[in-house]
Amino acid sequence: MTELTRRDQQVLEAVITDYIQTGEPVGSRVVAKRYGLEVSSATIRNVMADLEELGFLYQPHTSAGRVPTDRGLRFYLDFIMKFKALKEEERRLIRNAFNEAQTDVKDLLHRTSKVLSDFCKQAGVVLWPKLSMTRFKHIELIRLRTRQIMVILISKSGLVHHRLLEWEEDINQNDLDKYSRYLNALLQDVPLGEVKVRIVEGMRKDKVLFDQLFEKTLDMTQQVVQSTLENSEVYIEGQTNLLSNPEFAQVERMRKILAAFEDKSRIIRLLDKTMSTSAGVRIVLGSESESKELSEISLISSPYRRGDTLLGVVGVIGPLRMDYSRIIPVVEFTAALLSDLLEDPDQGE
């Protein structure tokens, strides 16, 4: 990143601060009047011209002031911005918002997306735990009716996944119970990403124990686990909050934003980009998303975990001119609180 002088940084900070507050291009007179840089408008105008040449600002119209580019915002976020620490009252309000949440993992995740939306006035998002990053706890095979089986998979993260299967031949519950016991013994505490390999190894090792039906059941279980691992889900709350931002008032921009949220796979891919074993907040700005539909929004995200296991990420999606200094601490605190609640549900009380 190009090094900027102290004055360059002061002017860049002033432009971005004003743009975040107003959504309007910022002129040199505004910077001189509101931000006390103790230099003339002409000097500030020259600095802004230099920043534009370096790619940190751009001028929407010849007679307009400047607005920050993604590059300018990235420099601001990485080197200039000062966080607004959460007040104890704000922390208390966020904790209280979880008081009515059930201890069920899905309810906690859904509540988290709503809390982020309500407190940040943007869209709150929560990526479900990646099953491949947690461990096997229990599987149940249940005969519902002739040639119909329900497979229930429970991970150590607390999530329950179930799938209804049409079976080519009838099978009694006693056999399914026997197969369930074998699978629970074989797979106990195995990382779910390794379940497929473990089943194949078990089939090879204990082949003498298997009848043909047992072998088919194991193959079916392997397919169910694999398809479950490949599916991701995301909770999104407050998409309509985005439409209150003036930059999305244009019909075409509004349509693009809503279309991006309707196709959840785009949001999931964006959240996946921020998955990291390290703690802390990550920010993806507009063009960094590598998606044309998401080029005008930003994601502020932070990972959540259960114990030492990384489960997923929580985040806030909003316009490029979000109040990052206020929203980042909210996202970070909420992610930490969710991690505590997943470890100990009484933490929120």
CATH of the domain at 320: 3.30.450.40
Cα dist. 153→176, 184, 192, 314 in Å? 14, 10, 10, 24
This prediction has a pTM of 0.82
Q: Using one digit for the tens of pLDDT, what is the confidence trace for 170-219?
A: 888 998 898 889 889 988 988 877 887 887 787 777 665 566 667 777 77
Question: The domain that contains 45 carries what CATH number?
Answer: 1.10.10.10
206 and 267 together in one domain: no
Residue 118: pLDDT band with limits 50, 70, 90: very high
Confirm whether 182 is domain-assigned.
Answer: yes
pLDDT at residue number 220: 73
Q: Using one digit for the tens of pLDDT, what is the confidence trace for 305-321?
A: 888 888 899 999 999 99
Using alpha carbons only, how large is the chain's radius of gyration in Å? 26
Secondary structure of residue 116 in the 3-state scheme: helix
Confirm whether 317 is domain-assigned.
Answer: yes
Mean per-residue pLDDT, 91-112:
87
In the chain, where does DSSP find H-type helix? 6-22, 28-34, 41-53, 70-75, 88-97, 105-120, 173-187, 195-205, 212-230, 251-262, 264-273, 324-343
Question: The domain that contains 166 carries what CATH number?
Answer: 3.30.390.60
> What's the total number of domains in the chain?
3
pLDDT over threshold 80, residue 133: no
- CA-based nearest residue to 239, from 269, 266, 260: 260
Confirm whether 146 is domain-assigned.
Answer: yes
**Axis crossing angle, helix 88-97 with helix 105-120, rounded to the nearest 10:** 140
64 and 207 together in one domain: no
Confirm whether 1 is domain-assigned.
Answer: no
Structure tokens at 186: 């074989």
pLDDT at residue number 347: 52
pLDDT at residue number 349: 43
223 and 200 together in one domain: yes
Secondary structure of residue 159 in the 3-state scheme: coil
Structure tokens at 74: 């990235």
Q: Give the domain range for residue 243.
A: 88-130+232-348
301 and 338 together in one domain: yes
Q: Which of 230, 250, 276 is the last residue of a domain?
A: 230
Most confidently modeled range among 121-125, 251-255, 285-289: 121-125
Residue 312 CB neighbour total at 10 angstroms: 26
259 and 162 together in one domain: no
Q: Which of 214, 230, 246 is the last residue of a domain?
A: 230
Secondary structure of residue 48 in the 3-state scheme: helix
Q: Using one digit for the tens of pLDDT, what is the confidence trace for 46-67?
A: 999 999 999 999 998 877 899 9
117 and 150 together in one domain: no
Mean per-residue pLDDT, 73-99:
94
Cα dist. 51→19, 38, 345 in Å? 15, 19, 50
Residue 259: pLDDT band with limits 50, 70, 90: confident
13 and 43 together in one domain: yes
- CA-based nearest residue to 232, from 187, 205, 264: 264
39 and 153 together in one domain: no
pLDDT at residue number 44: 95
Structure tokens at 106: 């899905």
Confirm whether 312 is domain-assigned.
Answer: yes
Structure tokens at 118: 């309500």
173 and 195 together in one domain: yes
Residues 275 and 303 sit within 8 Å (Cβ to Cβ)? yes
250 and 309 together in one domain: yes
Q: Which of 195, 230, 265 is the last residue of a domain?
A: 230
pLDDT over threshold 70, residue 230: no
Most confidently modeled range among 1-10, 28-37, 47-56, 165-174: 47-56
pLDDT at residue number 228: 66
Rounded CA-CA distance 332/85 in Å is 11
Residue 336 CB neighbour total at 10 angstroms: 16
220 and 137 together in one domain: yes
145 and 221 together in one domain: yes
